[in-house]
Amino acid sequence: MNLWGIRNWPAVQELLLEHLYLAVVPTVVGVAVALPIGLLLRDRRRARSIAVVLSSMVFTIPSLALFVVLPVILGTRVLDPINVVIALTLYTVALSVRTTFEALDAVPAATREAATAIGYSSWKRALAVDLPLAIPVLTAGTRVVAVTNVSMVSVGAVIGIGGLGQLFTTGYQRDFPEQILTGLVLILLLAIVFDRIIALIGRAFTPWIRGASLKASERRLRALAQALPEVGRLREVVGRVR
Amino acid sequence: MFADFIAYLADGTNWAGTTGILNRLVQHLYYSGLALGIGAVIAVPLGLVIGHTGKGEGIIVGLANTMRALPSLGLMTLLVLLMSSTLIPPITALVLLAVPPLLAGVYAGIANVDRSAVDAARAMGMTEWQVLWRVEVPNALPLIVGGLRGATLQVVATATIAAFVNLGGLGRYIFDGLALYDYTRVFVGAVLVTALALVLDGLLALVVRLVQPGTGRLALRDPALLAAIDERAPVEAQP
């Protein structure tokens, strides 16, 4: 951190908090919206391909374009932070729906069939088997989205919203590189911290991966086998067939 | 707003001249193309080496993710203040934006090629160079072009901020419009950038399909090759 940032810490801190809000809210809301959509549409071919096409179309809209057009469409004020929140939420949903599909596809078919065979209903299987096994891929995708969001918020500064990005616009107008550097360093730090937090959350929800040489899926299946009395039933069935 | 937008586009005088839509479009494509070209010169060889040898994976993945967090606007404004050049700052910012997706595409493409195909090529006595160019690169092409697609999208979208430091491109409409409270102009800029991004993304999506290995979509479009095949013998039906 350079001297300018320390001397002006109260003002910088306010921008930092605004930046944090503008980046975190869309990430959390976006992932929370995308997960059920992904779970619901994953096995419906047509709906799924429509979702993929729609999400890539949303993603082609440049962020600056979306920031300036949203007030026209929504009737919000141009300087309302909600425009940035909605725009970034849209991107997050678009990206996370695709990540959810990929993450669910990465669950081994054998595992899913085994869960069905031991009597899981499709919903129970989705929540108790598919979703937990999809977490590593989901986490990876969410980390990319989160880091991108932290960086993209700053573009909002050119229309007067955008947390630390305002250090760029005012620093540029005042011909003051130190101010811009403060913004750059803080945004990078914020992104790294956000990225680490999501990685840690992902790891907390996948205890079977830690230090495992086995594939995550095999580990999960073993854990299931030990924990569930139903698996005994599966063995019985397999034994009888033999 | 939509009526004003249509009226703006329908007016021929808005298309011609140095501040016309056509020239802004060419400027936009020039900045984007230049940044993507320089980005590719940096990212492609690096991605090929790392993907082929498997060395330096950890560093590159970490670095690429950190680079995603680097805000282009901040980098560009900082460079403008630190140097006198007008073109280098925005191009540098755009190059740094293009490198992570390109690098990720090339690296992941090469690293994900079926190991048995690579081993078979080595067993046949191919040199490492031949393995790379004749086995790994053709098989990795869809992911490589996919990386290019992601990079193009980001660069074209972000090239709008070049107008913030008084350069041309489609961003001019957005920044001029914001300064003049002329929201029709802002809208024109936003829609044109979006349309350009959509068109380029669609074209690259087609290329991704085209380079899918084993489909023969590339080879069988070559008339000379088709003629050669016809001459030799009735080929077995393509599956």
Does B239 fall in a domain?
A: no
Collapse the DSSP code of A213 into the 3-class scheme (helix H, G, I; strand E, B; otherwise coil) and give the result. Answer: coil
**pLDDT score, position A210:** 63
Minimum CA–CA partner of B155 in chain A: A62
Give helix A9-41 / helix A165-173 axis angle, nearest 10°.
130
End-to-end Cα distance, chain B:
53
Number of domains forming the structure of chain B: 1
Contact (CB<8Å) A150/B69: yes
In a domain, B237, yes or no: no
pTM of the full predicted structure? 0.81
- 3-class SS of residue A222: helix
B55 touches chain A (CB under 8 A): no
Task: Kindly state whether residue B143 falls inside one of the protein's structural domains.
Answer: yes
Q: Is residue B112 part of a domain?
A: yes
Residues of chain A predicted below pLDDT 70: 1-2, 210-242
Within a domain: residue B236?
A: no
Q: Within a domain: residue B155?
A: yes
CATH number of the domain enclosing B149: 1.10.3720.10
pLDDT recorded at residue A232: 31
Does a structural domain hold residue B119?
yes
Domain that holds residue B91: 1-230
Question: Nearest chain A Cα to B75, which residue?
Answer: A184
CA distance A114 to A220: 12
Query: What's the ipTM?
Result: 0.78
Q: Determine whether the interchain pair A144/B65 forms a contact, defined as Cβ–Cβ distance below 8 Å.
A: yes
Residue A188 is predicted with a pLDDT of: 94
- What is residue B55's predicted lDDT score, i.e. its pLDDT? 82
The stretches of B84-136 forming alpha helices (DSSP H) are 88-111, 115-123, 128-130
- CB of B209 within 8 Å of a chain A CB? The answer is no
Q: pLDDT tens across A226-239, in order?
A: 333 333 333 333 33
Contact B70 A195 (CB under 8 A): no
Q: How many angstroms separate the CA of residue B123 from the nearest CA in chain A?
A: 29
Q: For residue B67, is it within any domain? A: yes
| Contact at CB, A187 and B71, closer than 8 angstroms | yes
Give the closest-approach CA distance of B227 to chain A in angstroms: 38
Question: Tokens at residue A195, please?
Answer: 């990225």
pLDDT in tens, chain B (239 residues): 778 888 888 887 888 777 889 999 999 999 999 999 999 999 999 999 988 888 877 777 677 777 888 899 999 999 999 988 889 999 999 999 999 889 888 988 888 888 888 899 999 999 999 999 999 999 888 889 988 998 999 999 999 999 998 898 999 999 999 888 888 888 899 999 999 999 999 999 899 888 887 665 555 445 555 565 555 544 444 44
A127-178 per-position pLDDT tens digit: 889 999 889 888 888 988 999 999 999 999 988 888 999 999 999 999 999 9
